[in-house]
Amino acid sequence: MKNKKFEVIDMAARAPNKKKIQESLELQLWKKGAKIECFQDLICDYMNLYDIKKALQKDIKTRGISYETTSASGYPIVKQNQSVKDLVAVGKQMLLILDKLGLTTGEIVPDSDEDEL
C-alpha cells in the first residue's frame, strides 16, 4: 500500500496545475505566518514566470532546441532556439523567488487535515 501512495504522489508531482501550485505557495506562507501583501505579490510574480516557463517549454517542444531558418542573405541556417536560454533564466528567477519567500524543501510545513487557507 505504501508504494501505491508513493505512485499517487509521484504522478501529482509530475503534472501539477497552476492553481494547485499557487494554493500550495500561499498555504506554506500562511503556515509560516508570513501571508502578507508583499509576499503575495511575489507569489503573483512567481505565477507569471510559471506562465512564461510553460510558453517557453511549448516553443522548445514545437521548434526544438535548434531550428532551420533563412539568413539575411537567403541561405538556410540552423539557429539555436533562444527559448532554451530563456527557460534556464526563468527557472533561476523562480528559484530565487522561492528562496526569498523562505520556501525550500528543508522548510516545508507539513499538511494536516485540520488546516485550511
Domain positions in the chain are 2-107
Contact by Cβ (8 Å): 55, 34: no
Grid cell digits, residue 22: 499557487
Q: What is the pLDDT of residue 76?
A: 96
Grid cell digits, residue 76: 538556410
- Note the pLDDT tens digit of each residue in 79-114: 999 999 999 999 999 999 999 998 877 766 666 655
Q: Quick one: DSSP state of residue 109?
A: P
- Note the pLDDT tens digit of each residue in 29-56: 898 887 788 899 999 999 999 999 999 9
Q: What is the pLDDT of residue 10?
A: 53
How far is the C-alpha of 21 from the C-alpha of 35, rounded, in Å?
A: 15
Instruction: Tell me the longest C-alpha to C-alpha distance in the chain.
Output: 66
Nearest to 32 by CA among 113, 114, 104: 104
